[in-house]
Amino acid sequence: MEHIRAKKRVAVVGAGTSGLAACKHLLARGFRPVVFEAGDSVGGLWTRTLASTRLQSHAAAYRYSDFPWPDTADAFPRHDQVVDYLAAYARRFGVDECVTFRSTVVAAEYVGAGPEDAADRWERWAGNGEAFGDGTGVWRLTVRQHGVGGETESTTQVHEFDFLILCIGRFSGVPNIPATSPGPEAFRGKVLHSMDLSNMADEDAAALVKGKRVAVVGASKTAFEIAAECSQANGAGLPCTMVCRNPQWLLHSPDVWGKVSIAYLYMNRFAELMVPRPGAGVVSRLLATLLAPLAWAISAVTGAYYRKAIPMREHGMEPGHGFARCVSSCLISMLPDGFYDRVKEGSVVFQRSRSSLSFCQDGLVLDKQRVVPADVVILATGFRGDQKLRSMFASPRVKDIIAGAPGTAAPLYRECVHPRVAQMAVVGYAEGLNNIYSTEMAAKWVARLLDGAFRLPGVRRMEESCAEWGRYYARRSGGGGVGQSAWRPCLGAVNLWYNDELCRDMGCEPRRKKGLLAEWFQPYGAVDYADIQ
């Protein structure tokens, strides 16, 4: 068996948090994957962030299950500390030896023995429910190798692999640019997306906003971080204007009343009883209905605490949806330190756009009447993760079936494999309140699938499961406002249930705590699954 694993060619695209985990667990099972990374180092998005970016979660929670942070790390580590942690993980488990840097996969094409529409006739995934199918199909990857520092010309090579794992994430690559009329061409200043700002050297990004009237469009964590940096550069003399339509919950602390972590309210088994978990059946829906008043009360009390602790209402930034909705939509974030102090001093001002946004010569026009003067407009409007995934494939047919319905994400079984795309997995596409926690579990599941530890169910059963999870996302994981996507694949409120399903597939015990009270009321995290390799 060891010889067979070594002969199977496995490609991993991306060396961020999910790509590193995928490679590590494949190595642990005897495979020797090749990791293609477009950048110069491991770390993914963490290598391309704003200077002030910090980890949103406490270091004790944001970690791989079997690799703790060093004692020198901050409680909420800086982005450079996160990069160092990921690089140390790669070295510790030999992942760095598998990575080919400055290598962009520009096209992926499945080449099999049968016609392209053979997947329509499958009863089991890849024909037999096994990771490598019948062994006749391969993924052909076109890889562009970039020269160091642009000093040498890039070269293009074609490689073939028996299995493909995409770890490209959803928050990079293809920026989401809102449609406006008139558009940026009407503006005499500079317009850029937050991705472009993050890709700049810190000193260049600082120079871009220094002494400028800056308008930041968006209400996400990134928008607040950009506004905070602009306010530090220019102060109240040239305040940064934040333009947003749908305010989100950004918190000053993960603890409610200064003592109780929200993990105890939303990340344990008892909390998940209040959610109609996809695939759990009638009993789950009945329990969720009976416990709905308690779920409403917890959301209301938690939301009331943060409304009192943070002056969001005073500045017109109170979210239009309850706190529980932000958990189930993965829209919970942390405020930059002292952010509302900057608002109070006048170095950050808010402008709400109720319906429309457009450009004029001097800045932005809100709701066809109010003008926001600006020299620089930064669009912190997110990314098109669905388009990024779709663009990986050469075949128009694969593009169509992988994309899903308009406004949604790819329908992936266990958020990892498409029922009708053979010998391929996606890791890190679904969001969680703690992404490294959810992606590592998916990486373990995929590694065991490749190792033959279990077979996938029939295609119809997988499609039924995808549809059920899609209905859950549509009900619980919408963006929470006008103009946002229909739903997003967010595991926030059901991450533990998701892990239970992965454990059952892998033949592992889902219940990981010692003692009944701990099992039901203590929060779960990555460390609880450390013995699953």
How far lies 420's CA from each of 120, 162, 398, 461, 532, in Å? 7, 16, 9, 12, 28
pLDDT of residue 284: 92
Q: How far apart are CA 433 and CA 121, in angstroms?
A: 38
Question: Which tokens hold the place of 80?
Answer: 């450079």
Q: Which residues contact 522 (CB under 8 A, 6 or more apart)?
A: 264, 268, 513
Q: How far apart are CA 357 and CA 469, in angstroms?
A: 34
C-alpha gyration radius of the chain = 23
pLDDT of residue 114: 72
108-125 per-position pLDDT tens digit: 999 987 776 777 888 999
pLDDT above 70 covers what percent of the chain? 94
Write out the chain's pLDDT in tens, 533 residues. Answer: 554 566 799 999 999 999 999 999 999 999 999 999 999 999 998 988 888 888 888 888 899 999 999 999 998 899 999 999 999 999 999 999 999 999 999 999 999 877 767 778 889 998 899 999 988 899 999 999 987 665 667 899 999 999 999 999 887 888 889 889 999 999 999 999 999 999 999 899 999 999 999 999 999 899 999 999 999 999 999 999 999 998 999 999 999 987 899 999 999 999 999 999 999 989 999 999 999 999 999 999 999 999 999 999 999 999 988 999 889 988 888 999 999 999 999 999 999 998 889 999 999 999 998 999 999 999 999 888 888 888 889 988 888 888 665 555 678 999 999 999 999 999 998 888 888 999 999 999 999 999 999 999 999 999 999 999 999 998 887 654 444 455 678 999 999 999 999 999 999 999 999 999 999 999 999 999 999 98
Q: How far apart are CA 384 and CA 442, in angstroms?
A: 22
pLDDT of residue 404: 65
Closest CA relative to residue 470, chosen from 529, 405, 398, 382: 405
Closest CA relative to residue 302, chosen from 240, 254, 344, 358: 254
CB 170 within 8 A of CB 17: no
Question: How long, in residues, is the chain?
Answer: 533
Three-state secondary structure along 440-473? HHHHHHHHHHHCCCCCCCEHHHHHHHHHHHHHHH
